[in-house]
Structure 1
């Protein structure tokens, strides 16, 4: 999911990543970007652990509830595919729900970005991790399905690592490659991939539901 959303990441967060590239040295730029993204992944893991903990408390081994979460994860994959392809933007409504919180956090992220301290960049990245994003919300559905705070955090770490190639390479990618990743063709291809994966997960969940009955 993280790799498939590369174009979306560049469009949504490229400006934030690009704001870091004002150091005189490439090494300093890369260090700042690494710490920034480490903070972002830390927030993803915290969110994944919280969602996994909540689902663990709610499910407590109840199989129908696990099936419901699997269907929900399949729905989010299909919705994400439609979102990436530009065919249905339902996930954008979830992003709107998170905007009030982001509007409160964004000024702090901006102040922290202005500091040259690597720790400030890390904390700024943690704030950045709470940016409303349909891609992140889709990944969190798998943390819920894990029904475990540890696995929920690891799922979000895996997702975050998938986004790193696009975010770390911002500023080093050629303009042509960035155009490809942001292009409608690439996003639609990744959208189809997510939809197919979502349908596959839904079929597995349906077979489990029939076996359970």
Structure 2
């Protein structure tokens, strides 16, 4: 996989952050509350040093949470990519690689429609993911309140396995990447793409999170991801060896 091919995956995570805020918004918005307290404390009751300490504490816990979340994404991506990569090493067929490219771009099309709420077929994957989540969810309650970076890290590692159609679609791309390393790289690119929206929601609180979940935001995000998938399919059909297109397309300009 060309490293440049990770950029459209990053962009998919970036614009798909509106969906991530819906899934993780409640957790990340909690970081905008004041430090270890169960509820916001009026700033007038705190000294400047205390306020600075609270802000730094929130930042550390938020960083730890996202590190754990993205770490779980990478672990899942490495597993998915490693399994299929082992099969590909035994069967080196050009048509199999072509099928993989088609599936990857079709998954982006499905993800775009899912974000737009035009097609909810990925909900089936979320239903299957509930089987694992039922075993993990009880452990998340034991980590509350998030009064230390260690707890935030552990919660992020657990939350990374939350059933999510968007994550599962990215895992399909990781599976098609062909190796554990590439699969982990796909999920890292996706996870980094989701950071801006989630960090913004964590800093600004619930008001921004609610604004990002509006139908217009979801439709705009879905159209962008849908465009990536359609562009990739068109490139697989017609070539289009344009250098700039590599940054917006999973399909290479010159098919092997």
Larger radius of gyration: 2
Greater Cα shift, 97-106 or 165-174: 165-174
Q: Which runs of 5+ in 1 are unaligned?
A: none
Structure 1: distance between partners of 2:238 and 2:88: 20
Whether 1:17 aligns to 2:38 is: no
Whether 1:164 aligns to 2:198 is: no
TM-score (normalised: structure 1): 0.90
Deviation for aligned residue 1:44: 0.5
Pair 19,105 (structure 1): closer, same or farther in 2 beyond 3 Å: farther
Deviation for aligned residue 1:180: 3.7
Structure 1: distance between partners of 2:216 and 2:180: 37
Pair 197,115 (structure 1): closer, same or farther in 2 beyond 3 Å: closer
Contact 2:34 2:55 in 1 (8 A): no
Q: 1:59-101: per-residue Cα shift (whole Å, max 9, x none)?
A: 2232222222211111211111111111111111110110121
Q: Which runs of 5+ in 2 are unaligned?
A: 1-11, 37-53, 240-253
Question: What are the residue-to-residue correspondences of 1:64-213 with 2, within 5 Å?
Answer: 64-114=95-145, 116-173=147-204, 177-207=208-238
TM-score (normalised: structure 2): 0.76
List structure 1 segments (4+ residues) > 4 angstroms apart after TM superposition.
174-177
Pair 123,174 (structure 1): closer, same or farther in 2 beyond 3 Å: closer
Question: What are the residue-to-residue correspondences of 1:33-44 with 2, within 5 Å?
Answer: 33-44=62-73
Deviation for aligned residue 1:22: 5.3
Contact 2:136 2:158 in 1 (8 A): yes
Structure 1: distance between partners of 2:34 and 2:133: 24
